[in-house]
Amino acid sequence: MKTVVILDFGAQYSQLIARRVREAGYYCEIVPYDRPWKDSLALDPAALVLSGGPESTLAEGAPTCDAAVFASGLPMLGICYGMQLIAREVGAELVSGGAPEYGPATLRVLDPSHPLLAGVPEQSRVWMSHGDSVQRLPGDFTPLAATPRCSIAAIGSKKRRMVGVQFHPEVVHTEYGKQLIENFLREVAKITPNWAMDSFLESSVAEIRERVGGRRVICALSGGVDSAVAATLVARAIGEQLTCIFVDHGLLRKNEAKEVLAAFRDVLHLNVIHVDAAERFLAKLAGVEDPERKRILIGHEFIAIFEEEAAKLPDVGYLVQGTLYPDVIESKTPQSKAGHKIKSHHNVGGLPEHMNFALVEPLRALFKDEVRALGRVLGLPEHIVARQPFPGPGLAVRIIGAIDEERLEIVREADAIVREEIERTALDPHPWQYFAVLTPVKSVGVMGDGRTYANLVAVRAIVSEDGMTADWARLPHDLLARISTRIVNEVPGVNRIAYDITSKPPATVEWE
């Protein structure tokens, strides 16, 4: 398959660039900037995108790519640092410092006839990010756009299919960013769209059948959209050769275990082994307050139970995992010094090597929104496809401090009220994730004629595209009032509600 190759120079938005390319209908992959070009040829590259990055192209030892990249003759889009790298490579004049520009700016189109800017109005809002500036261009390059503080904010060559922008078209703050990326792919690179879920489904089914043959395959089900889509896709390919194992650790939301089992057995018609291990997990977690320790204990116990169940099945050769493309990117130690390992704790391989199963990761090339799209193509019910993200350790990370049955019941009932009230309210935008957190704080209150000393529950609701960044949801006051009133009146042991109005960053989505 023809691939749009994104060279990552340590940009925080590289995944967003990839998502925008995929949304435009083109397959793409992100590779480190210093990857030898001969290794990238295996991807059958059709066009190149050079990402932004934190470095200066004028600094000694500034990151650069294999010279063969520029000699390839492929269409090329440089973004931020990528534009300056193209400019430096072709002999433009760059200057350091001067009037750096970070944040919103008004873009003024200088050459509306250039295909890169087709459909982009004379003035629009963009998200700028630069300390260095391009001052003078060689003869075959011309300025395409400017901002009040950047006289050359976009460049293009009359002879070569090379363009660059000093702003970030991949972020939502740039009004016509998606249009610009599509223009590069369709009008500048002139490549044909090749990325659709129907064709991905067809090719994936064929690949799974060929790889697995007649061996038995197992899959760990969590109830989340990733494992549901992965299991359904594999079942489409090999049918009864797949056995799913659902380990209920007792840390799920209200009625969730029953709903998950009903969905997988009755709706998706999967072969599911249900393991009720709630008491076993609670025993392991007794008295544990440290959040990282909770995660480790839950992960190890889950693996132990999964191993026990898998050992009961004959001729198991493969294990299905719902690994996504962001997991693959974030879990790789970069080959370059420009980036940083984001998830040092994340193991894409998942379960221990001594289990001796070969991995089947059918979603490995997909982003979260693409997984949902694939789920719809597979015919999964919308309540499964649109299910909000839920952490693997479950409610354990939504209880600050030690876990016991009483505290689990409090957060479970409070969470159910939060979800019920938000889901029956028409909101635009609808929150991406919303839940309750049981804090370790107790406060004085008055209920009836008596004094209480009870728990504080925090409510969290965010809006986001993918969870990488998020803002707190501006829920209507009457909705917040209903949530607060219901939790205090219906959940024993709670007398105060707080609403979390912190974005990510600086906070994370979850509290632990």
Active-site residue (options: 170, 301, 361, 413): 170
Q: How far apart are CA 163 and CA 79, in angstroms?
A: 9
Q: Is 170 a catalytic residue?
A: yes
Active-site residue (options: 28, 65, 80, 244): 80
| DSSP secondary structure letters along 380-432 | --HHHHTPPP--TTGGGGGB-S---HHHHHHHHHHHHHHHHHHHTS--SSPPS
CA distances (Å), 237 to each of 166, 201, 208, 215, 217, in order?
A: 46, 10, 6, 13, 11
**C-beta contacts of 340-345 below 8 A and 24+ residues apart:** 340/10
Please give the torsion angle defined by the CA atoms of residues 79, 82, 85 and 91, in that order, rounded to the nearest 10 degrees: -30
- Report strand pairing: 471-472 vs 450-463: antiparallel
The structure tokens listed for 53 are 């990055």
Q: Is 370 a catalytic residue?
A: no
Please give the torsion angle defined by the CA atoms of residues 232, 234, 239 and 242, in that order, rounded to the nearest 10 degrees: -100
Q: SS3 for 429-463, per residue? A: CCCCEEEEEEEEEEEEEEECCEEEEEEEEEEEEEE
SS3 78: strand
Q: Is 477 a catalytic residue?
A: no
Instruction: Identify the CA nearest to 399 among candidates 421, 418, 385, 414.
Output: 414
- Other Cβ atoms less than 10 A from the Cβ of 97: the count is 10
Gyration radius of the chain over CA positions: 26
For residues 145 and 129, is the Cβ–Cβ distance under 8 A? no
Active-site residue (options: 28, 65, 130, 168): 168
Q: Quote the distance between the C-alpha of residue 464 and its chain's center.
A: 10
SS3 181: helix
Buried b (16+ CB within 10 A) or exposed e, 353-391: eeeebeebbbbbbbbbebbbbbbebbebeeebbebbbbb
> H or E element: which one contains 162?
strand 162-165
Neighbouring residues of 5: CB distance < 8 A, sequence distance ≥ 6: 28, 29, 31, 40, 43, 45, 47, 48, 49
For residues 110 and 146, is the Cβ–Cβ distance under 8 A? yes
- Cα angle for residues 363, 205, 386 (degrees, 5° grid): 45
For residues 335 and 34, is the Cβ–Cβ distance under 8 A? yes
Q: What is the DSSP letter of 184?
A: I
Q: How far apart are CA 83 and CA 354, in angstroms?
A: 47
- Other Cβ atoms less than 10 A from the Cβ of 239: the count is 11
Which residue numbers are catalytic? 80, 168, 170
